[in-house]
Every structure is written in structure tokens, then in C-alpha cells.
């Protein structure tokens, strides 16, 4: 069992509040220390200068200021003015202690919240006033952000980050871990068993998570849908904690096994933004996504290097667009239904010819840009370049060869998507049929209805839609009957596993058959050998794309395929 370390247990409301007592008179000081010391931690300032310098460094842990007006050096009224003029701590409640009736009005105008008259009233009166003031001011703070997640009762992300920062302030020398816990394929659980069941699982995770922080110290929140974040005193291993959480939440519903995955950024660097620390934990969690034998990932030097590279690529993005470092390559697609394979279209695939790092494959930067939204700008660039290229080929070779471009999920949420595409088409004198849109299967899994609506619009405009990477996501086969698509691109892994070591083409055959049932042509990508082409042809596959015919090549090089086809 965990050993309890009182020092590292953290409840914001269990910590003793700190009062800054600004008072030069030793007798008064001792008296107030005596009456308040049991309930509060008292920080003493004997002069106004002292008080301001303490505030500068410690304002975050101070809950209230008790200010004597009659001070040597800077006067109390001036101290009050300066406190209220500094945005970092102007929100701190200040109670003024005075025997001079007239100063009261001035102090209230300046922002003091209450008075304690001298000679002092009984200590329980003082305590009650302070308590009420502290509560009022904290409530006001809390109201600014809704603190808790409705479903689980845990903190929400915004509040959690604030509390994590406070945790640091109270535990400067405590090694701390940032942890992200996710439920694998949570959307599938919701879809298969209903939202109520999904909610139940989230509550169970929350319950156990709270048990954990109650015992180990630290705080926890539900940050979004199925993601929980912990900020806790460091420990070397998380196997036991993870097992306990999994055992508690893993059994339901029916025979479906719910699996968790966890990412730990151990002994965080406290100079980093709090969000950044949790980004690191998230990266560690993503690293073990789908890895059932290793559900706990730790942030390590390998992830760190990826992070550094990612930062560099993001920094370099704008200049790369300006300097046209992104090149569009084209890979031919061949129809294999006729006597001889013939060129029917191609796919535009972007590459980054980075000024310092050389050629970078989209597998590296696309997922990154999809995360931060830069993909929209990049895609727009690629679509424009591609449209210009189609026009050029039209003019030079008098051919109409549709080219497909990739459309990211994020693009589909862009309200101006249709206008942007229309503009690109019009600007190059093309029609919608010249540009085919590849939309990856996984784009349909979230907000399916909204996405389907958008894709329908695009189709109504005349664009042909190909569903990319079919079979890699988890969209149900029944969706095929109502999705607005014109062709299915089978995910490469299908081809590879069908023709792999344990050759078994049954699944591939079934897929092609199914597509035919829905009158959808199939495109096989990742086709590398003649044997595969022959087999696919027999199975009824329509179009083939892959290294067997050609790798993606620069536009000039692609022209040889056009010439050959003429
Ligand atoms: P994708 O759209 O499924 O593209 C097919 C990928 O398979 C390409 O990788 C292509 O080079 C590769 N490929 C084609 N034939 C073969 C083969 O026979 N064997 C093997 N091993 N691979 C083959 P690439 O160019 O690295 O692109 C990777 C992914 O990046 C693409 O997958 C697509 O999702 C994304 N992508 C590429 N360009 C763009 C773009 O302009 N915009 C967006 N949003 N995504 C892009
Ligand atoms: Mg594609
Ligand atoms: Mg694909």
C-alpha cells in the first residue's frame, strides 16, 4: 500500500491560509499572532516597504492582507494604493486596522474591503471577519471559472491547471509527475453500448482516480471526453496503480474489455508551462496507443527529440510556404479492368523539401499539422498547386486527367471549404470533376452526421469523393450504404496482410465483393508486385496504385506516364 506522506498531500482548502500582517507595533503584532495563529499562517511585515516586497514574491500564496494604517516610512494608505495598482495582486482582500475614523472613507474608496477598529475587538470577532472576507474573495475567484465537470465531479481542466500551479507553490521542492490516462477507443464504446454506458465507465474511472489522489496526494481532473489528468508527487513505478484502475473499470460492459492507457511525464521540469507538462504526458500516452502489452508510456529522450523536431517544423512552416519548399508529387492510378492497365488518374502527395533537414515525408509533418490546424493552409496550397498542374497538363497535352488530393478531417470543419475549393477550380478554369477528393475513413467516425452533410455538399458541387484508407478505422460496414462516396480506397495494410507471409486473401476478396454490392469501384493502394496486380484483377478490383507502377514522382517526371498513355 502507499505510504502516506502528509507533506505532499494537497487540498487547496485544507492548507492553512496565509495572512500578511503589516503592523509595526510589537504589542499589537503579538496579540494578533496569538488570536489568529491557530487558524492561519502569519507572515509579518513591520513596514510598508517590507509588505510590498513580500507581496512581490509571495502574493500567490497569500489570502488576505491586514494593514495597519499608521506605519513608519510609507504610510498605510500609500501601501494600499500600491497594492491595488498592481494587477498581479490587486485582487487580494485588504482589511485596514485603524483608530482614525476619517481614514475609513478614504480607504474604502481605495479598495479596502473591511475594517478592524483599534483597540481590537475580541479575537473571535476578528477571526469571523477574516474568515468571511477570505471566503467571499475565494468564491468570487471560483465563480470566474466553473470548477467541476458535471458528470464525474472532478475538476475541469482550467481549474485543474490553476490548482496544479498552486500545488507547485506549496510544494516547491517536491518532485512531481504529470500523468494522462485515456480509455482506448472510447467512441466505439459509446457507439456500441450507448452513451449512458460510456458515462458509467467515466464515472468509475473518476471514482478510482479520486481514490488514488486521496491516498497518494496530488490532484486529478477530467480534461476532455475520456481523458483524465493527474498531478501527483513523484513515484518510480505505476504498474500497481494502473492495474488497480484497469481492474476496477475493465470488466463492463458485457464481455467487452475496456482498456486504459497511460502516459507519465516523470519529475516534471517546473520551468515549463503547466500545459506543456501535460502535453508531454499526452505524447507518452499516445506513444503506447494500441499497444496492449505495454499500456503505460513514459516521456523519454526519444519523445523529446520528436517534440523538438515538431517545434522546429511548426516554426519553419510559414517561411516554407513562402519559399515554396513544399513540393507536390504525383502517383499514377491504373485501371486494371481492361485488357491492359491504363492510366486513369493520379494522387497528389505533398513532400517538404526543407532548407536544412532535406526531404521530409508527410508521415512526419501531416499528423503534426493536423493537430495544430496548420494543415488547412498546407492543404489549400497543395490543392492550388495541383489545380494549376492539371490545367498545365490540359493545355500541354490536351488531356483531362483527374487528380485526387487529400482532404483532412479538419478541412471538413472549415465553413469556407466549399468557397475555397470553388475558387481554386474557377481560378484555373477547371470543373469540379477534375479534382477528386480523398477523405480518410477515420474522418467519418467523429460527428458522422455533420461530416456526411459536408461531404454531400461537396459531392453536389460535382466533386468525386474517394474514401481513403478504408478498413483502417472502425466505421461500420453498414455505413457504406448511405455514405456519399464514389469509390473505396482499400487501406494498404489489407493488401500487405493478404499477400504477406501467411497469405490469406479472403478478407480482401470479401471487401471488394462488398464494395461491388454497393456499386462502388475499389482502388487498391500499396500494390508492389505483379502477383498482387494479377490477384486483385481476379478478385474484381478496379484500380491499382502503388510502387508496382510507380512511386510518387515530381510533376515533370509524371509527364512520361501521360505521354505513354496518349
Ligand atoms: P495516403 O493518402 O493513404 O497516401 C498513400 C501513401 O502510400 C503515400 O505515402 C504513398 O507514397 C504511399 N504508397 C503508395 N504506393 C505504395 C506502395 O506500393 N508501397 C508503399 N510502402 N507505400 C506506398 P506518403 O506520400 O508518405 O503520404 C502519407 C500520407 O500522408 C497519405 O496517405 C496522406 O494521408 C497524407 N498526405 C500526403 N499528402 C497530403 C496532403 O497534401 N494533404 C493531406 N491532408 N494529407 C496528405
Ligand atoms: Mg490519399
Ligand atoms: Mg490511403
Rounded to 10 deg, the angle between the 375-397 and 301-322 helix axes is 50
- Residue of 349, 467, 532 to mutate, ligand 1, most atoms within 8 A of C-beta: 349
Tell me the H-state helices in 46-112.
Answer: 48-58, 76-85, 103-110
Ligand 1 near 382 CB (within 6 A): yes
- For 478-507, write each residue's pLDDT tens digit: 778 888 999 999 999 889 889 988 888 998
Question: How many whole angstroms separate alpha carbon 217 and alpha carbon 223?
Answer: 19
Euclidean distance between the first and the last CA atom of the chain, given in angstroms as a whole number: 76
Q: Is 471 in the pocket of ligand 1 (CB under 6 A)?
A: no
Average pLDDT, the chain: 89
Q: Any residues with CB less than 8 A from the CB of 337 and at least 6 apart, and which?
A: 537, 542
Residue 127: predicted pLDDT: 86
Does ligand 1 come within 6 angstroms of the Cβ of 546? Answer: yes
Q: How far apart are CA 84 and CA 79, in angstroms?
A: 9
Quick one: which of 71, 63, 44, 279 has its CA closest to 161?
279
Q: Which protein residues have a CB closer than 5 Å to ligand 2 (ion)? A: 406, 438, 468
pLDDT band at 9 (very low <50, low <70, confident <90, very high): very low
Tell how far the Cα of 403 is from the centroid of ligand 3, in angstroms.
14
- Predicted confidence (pLDDT) per residue in 159-205, tens digit: 899 889 989 988 889 999 999 999 998 888 888 888 888 998 999 99
Residues 49 and 51: their CA atoms lie apart, in Å, by: 5
Q: Is 467 helix (H, G, I), strand (E, B) or coil?
A: strand
429 Cα: distance to centroid of ligand 3 (angstroms): 28
Q: From the CB of 403, is ligand 1 less than 6 Å away?
A: no
At 7 the pLDDT is 35
How far apart are the CA of 61 and the centre of ligand 1, in A? 53
pLDDT at residue 290, as a whole number = 83
Domains of the chain: 13-147 (3.40.50.2300), 157-299 (3.30.70.270), 326-565 (3.20.20.450)
526 close to ligand 1 (CB < 6 Angstrom): yes
Euclidean distance between CA atoms 367 and 175, whole angstroms: 32
- Closest ligand relative to 471 C-alpha: 3
Q: Which three cell numbers stand for residue 561?
A: 506516364
The DSSP string of 341-406 is: -EEEEEEEEEEEEETTTEEE-HHHHHHHHHHHSTHHHHHHHHHHHHHHHHHHHHHHH-----EEEE
| Structure confidence by residue, pLDDT tens digits, 37-83 | 888 899 999 999 999 999 998 888 888 999 998 899 999 999 999 99
Answer whether 522's CB lies under 8 Å from 514's CB: no
Ligand 1 pocket member 441 (CB < 6 A): no
What are the percentages of helix, strand and coil residues in the chain, rounded to 5?
Answer: 50, 20, 30
The answer, yes or no, to whether any atom of ligand 1 lies below 6 A from the CB of 93, is no
Tell how far the Cα of 525 is from the centroid of ligand 2, in angstroms: 9
pLDDT band at 430 (very low <50, low <70, confident <90, very high): very high
For residue 480, give the nearest of 521, 540, 433 by alpha carbon: 521
Counting atoms of ligand 1 from 1, which one is nearest the CA of 548?
18
Amino acid at each position: 500500500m502507499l505510504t502516506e506522506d502528509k507533506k505532499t498531500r494537497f487540498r487547496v482548502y485544507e492548507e492553512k491560509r496565509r495572512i500578511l500582517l503589516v503592523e509595526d507595533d510589537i504589542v499589537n503584532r503579538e496579540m494578533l499572532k496569538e488570536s489568529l495563529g491557530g487558524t492561519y499562517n502569519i507572515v509579518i511585515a513591520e513596514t510598508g516597504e517590507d509588505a510590498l516586497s513580500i507581496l512581490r514574491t509571495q502574493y500567490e500564496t497569500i489570502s488576505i492582507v491586514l494593514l495597519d494604517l499608521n506605519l513608519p516610512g510609507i504610510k498605510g494608505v500609500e501601501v494600499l494604493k500600491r497594492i491595488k495598482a498592481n494587477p498581479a495582486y490587486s485582487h487580494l482582500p485588504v482589511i485596514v486596522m485603524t483608530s482614525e475614523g476619517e481614514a475609513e472613507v478614504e480607504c474604502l474608496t481605495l479598495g479596502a474591503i473591511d475594517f478592524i477598529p483599534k483597540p481590537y475587538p475580541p479575537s473571535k470577532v476578528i477571526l469571523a471577519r477574516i474568515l468571511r472576507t477570505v471566503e467571499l474573495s475565494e468564491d468570487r475567484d471560483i465563480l470566474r471559472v466553473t470548477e467541476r465537470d458535471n458528470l464525474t465531479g472532478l475538476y475541469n481542466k482550467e481549474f485543474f491547471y490553476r490548482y496544479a500551479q498552486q500545488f507547485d507553490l506549496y510544494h516547491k521542492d517536491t518532485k512531481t509527475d504529470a500523468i494522462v490516462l485515456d480509455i482506448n477507443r472510447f467512441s466505439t464504446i459509446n457507439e456500441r453500448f450507448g452513451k449512458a454506458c460510456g458515462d458509467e465507465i467515466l464515472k468509475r474511472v473518476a471514482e478510482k482516480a479520486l481514490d488514488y489522489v486521496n491516498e497518494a496526494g496530488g490532484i486529478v481532473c477530467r480534461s476532455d471526453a475520456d481523458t483524465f489528468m493527474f498531478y501527483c508527487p513523484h513515484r518510480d513505478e505505476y504498474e500497481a496503480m494502473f492495474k488497480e484502475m484497469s481492474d476496477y473499470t475493465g470488466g463492463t460492459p458485457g464481455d467487452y474489455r475496456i482498456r486504459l492507457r497511460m502516459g507519465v511525464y516523470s519529475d516534471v521540469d517546473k520551468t515549463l508551462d503547466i500545459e506543456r507538462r501535460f502535453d508531454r504526458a499526452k505524447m507518452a500516452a499516445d506513444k503506447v496507443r494500441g499497444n496492449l502489452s505495454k499500456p503505460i508510456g513514459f516521456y523519454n529522450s526519444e519523445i523529446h527529440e520528436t517534440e523538438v523536431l515538431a517545434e522546429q517544423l511548426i516554426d519553419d512552416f510559414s517561411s516554407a510556404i513562402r519559399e515554396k519548399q513544399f513540393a507536390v508529387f504525383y502517383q499514377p492510378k491504373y485501371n486494371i479492368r481492361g485488357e491492359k492497365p491504363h492510366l486513369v488518374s493520379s494522387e497528389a502527395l505533398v513532400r517538404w523539401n526543407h532548407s536544412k533537414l532535406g526531404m521530409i515525408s508527410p508521415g512526419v509533418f501531416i499528423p503534426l499539422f493536423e493537430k495544430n490546424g496548420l494543415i488547412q493552409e498546407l492543404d489549400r496550397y497543395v490543392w492550388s498547386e495541383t489545380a494549376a498542374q492539371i490545367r498545365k497538363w490540359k493545355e500541354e497535352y490536351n488531356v483531362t486527367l483527374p487528380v485526387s488530393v487529400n482532404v483532412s478531417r479538419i478541412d471538413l470543419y472549415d465553413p469556407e471549404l466549399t468557397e475555397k475549393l470553388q475558387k481554386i477550380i474557377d481560378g484555373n478554369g477547371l470543373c469540379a470533376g477534375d479534382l477528386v477528393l480523398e477523405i480518410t475513413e477515420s474522418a467519418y467516425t467523429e460527428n458522422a452526421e455533420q461530416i456526411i452533410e459536408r461531404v454531400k455538399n461537396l459531392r453536389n458541387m460535382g466533386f468525386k469523393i474517394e474514401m481513403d484508407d478504408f478498413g483502417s478505422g472502425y466505421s461500420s460496414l453498414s455505413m457504406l450504404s448511405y455514405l456519399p462516396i464514389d469509390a473505396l480506397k482499400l487501406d494498404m495494410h489489407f493488401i500487405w496482410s493478404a499477400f504477406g507471409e501467411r497469405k490469406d486473401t479472403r478478407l480482401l476478396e470479401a471487401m471488394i465483393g462488398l464494395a461491388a454490392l454497393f456499386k462502388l469501384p475499389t482502388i487498391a493502394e500499396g500494390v508492389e508486385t505483379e502477383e498482387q496486380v494479377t490477384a486483385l484483377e481476379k478478385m474484381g478490383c478496379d484500380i491499382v496504385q502503388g510502387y508496382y507502377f510507380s512511386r510518387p514522382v515530381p510533376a515533370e517526371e509524371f509527364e512520361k506516364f501521360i505521354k505513354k498513355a496518349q
